[in-house]
Amino acid sequence: MDVFMTRREKLMSRMRAQQIDGYLVTQNVDIYYFTGTMQTGFLFIPSEGNPVFYVRRSLTRAQSESGVEVEELGSLRSLGERLKARYPSLFSNEGKAVIATEFDVLPVQLFHRLQAAIPMVEWKDGTMLVREIRMIKGPEEIEAIRRAAVVTDLAFEKAAASARIGMRDVELMTVIEATMREHGHMGLMRMRGYNQEIITGMVGSGRAMAIPTYFDGPAGGEGLGPASPQSSGNKTIGPNEPILVDIGCCIDGYVFDQTRTMVIGELDEELDRAYRVAEHILRRTEEKLVPGTSCEQLYIQSLELAEQAGLSEHYMGFRQDQVKFLGHGIGLEVDELPVLARGFRLPLEPGMVIAIEPKFTFPERGVVGIENTYLITDDGFEKLSVSREGLIRLGGR
């Protein structure tokens, strides 16, 4: 049984438990997860029986890559009739068939077209169904994330070797991106959230990195301007200021995420101490990184540690621009489940891959922190990050 079939079986078993008759998978990443191809179209997975991938484009490529049966989509309007013909027992019930799809990403306009094309159906939000299955990674997924960890480390070391006083933040980012691209990075990290975008991460020095932005992370940065309002911009690196290197790449579809803090010279006492508090929070989090620990508990513990250090208002962003989490799942997307945040009471489980990123923001001065990505194992964790830790002091340049 191939991995894609295993994933579909998991989905089908949950669908049956929730009385869902079919799942219409519409998003490129979800389609890839369940079929092995990322061509566009609609993948129909019935609660029992075989799936069909109705392909918009490219049919020939989907045929060569997908393990499931593929058909040309043709007119969307006929999709309902074709589903009925292909799955007569499902769509000829007395009651309406219950069909789930990804309400979190599917645009309203396309949903309305699907509703018109497939009438006599009760639509359900299947977002959590898919996201919860994707939360637990299989060995082949963990291997891809490991490869991404190695490429991220290569790029990080290249950045550490290249950083110079007077260099623009975006030039440092260019070094990172070029290294990653040459080693298989697709050029961006996919992100599920509406209006969220990330390319290779957040890299910036001093005050530029402390400028808040819309991005759902503890460090956004000034960016290149209001139309590209995050990550690296044209600020030049100065001595004795933190250089945040929060980077990741996407190898064979899988994302990795890691942060290190560098400085040319020395940080002042307050920032140096804040960095050490971030490391302390990470170590204390690691102690509880075992199956069964509540995700929420890890976040609450980190809040307490930040408070004990007198750094609450700097933790995970400054004051009103703080984000309310300590970490997030990663995989095909950078914003996967679980989230280490209030309200996420689900326990850690083996197979989860989580980026944990305690950071402190000081307006006009910069952001310091550390982030590793971890695999939850049967009896604890494995650190997937392979980069050296600690504040990276680069010496005079």
Answer for which of 28, 162, 236, 297 binds a copy of itself (CB under 8 A) is: 28
Nearest CA-CA partner of 23 in 31, 15, 13, 32: 15
The verdict on 178 binding a copy of itself (CB under 8 A) reads yes
What does the block give as tokens for 160?
A: 């550490």
Could you tell me the smallest distance in angstroms from the CB atom of residue 88 to a copy of itself? 28
Among 124, 137, 167, 200, binds a copy of itself (CB under 8 A): 200
Among 10, 84, 147, 181, binds a copy of itself (CB under 8 A): 181
CA distance 85 to 78: 11
Q: Which is nearer to a copy of itself, 252 or 272 (CB)?
A: 252
Q: Which residues contact 200 (CB under 8 A, 6 or more apart)?
A: 173, 176, 177, 180, 185, 187, 188, 189, 231, 247, 248, 249
Binding residues for a copy of itself restricted to 59-78, rule: CB under 8 A: 59-61, 65, 72
Site for a copy of itself in 233-272 (CB under 8 A): 250, 252-254
Site string for a copy of itself, 42-61 (x = CB under 8 A): --------------xxxxxx
Comparison of 29 and 262: residue with beta carbon closer to a copy of itself: 29
The torsion angles phi and psi of 16, rounded to 5 degrees, stand at: -60, -40
Question: Minimum distance from CB of 105 to a copy of itself (Å)?
Answer: 5
Q: If binding is defined by CB under 8 A, does position 331 make contact with a copy of itself? A: no
Separation of CA 108 from chain center? 24
DSSP string, 137-177: --HHHHHHHHHHHHHHHHHHHHHHHH--TT-BHHHHHHHHH
Question: Least distance to a copy of itself from the beta carbon of 212, Å?
Answer: 4
**From CA 133, how far away is CA 185, in angstroms rounded?**
25
DSSP label at residue 333: S
Total binding residues toward a copy of itself, as defined by CB under 8 A = 67
Q: CB 115 → a copy of itself: shortest distance, Å?
A: 10
Cβ-Cβ contacts under 8 Å for 350 (sequence gap 6 or more): 136, 291, 376, 377, 378
User: Looking at 2, 89, 116, 214, which residue binds a copy of itself (CB under 8 A)?
Assistant: 214
- For 240: left if phi > 0, alpha if psi spans -120 to 50, otherwise beta; the answer is left
Q: Which is nearer to a copy of itself, 33 or 87 (CB)?
A: 33
DSSP-derived letter for residue 96 is P
Least separation in angstroms between residue 285's CB and a copy of itself is: 24
319, two tokens: 């004051």
Cβ closest to a copy of itself, residue 170 vs residue 300? 170
Give how far Cα 289 sits from Cα of 221, 293, 298, 376, Å: 30, 7, 8, 7
Token readout for 380 is 């604890």
Rule CB under 8 A: is residue 174 a binding residue for a copy of itself? yes
Nearer to a copy of itself, 30 or 277 (CB): 30
Residues in contact with a copy of itself by the rule CB under 8 A: 26-28, 32, 36-40, 56-61, 65, 72, 103-112, 125, 127, 170-171, 173-174, 177-178, 181-182, 184, 186-188, 190, 194-195, 197, 199-200, 211-214, 216, 220, 223-229, 250, 252-254, 320-321, 332
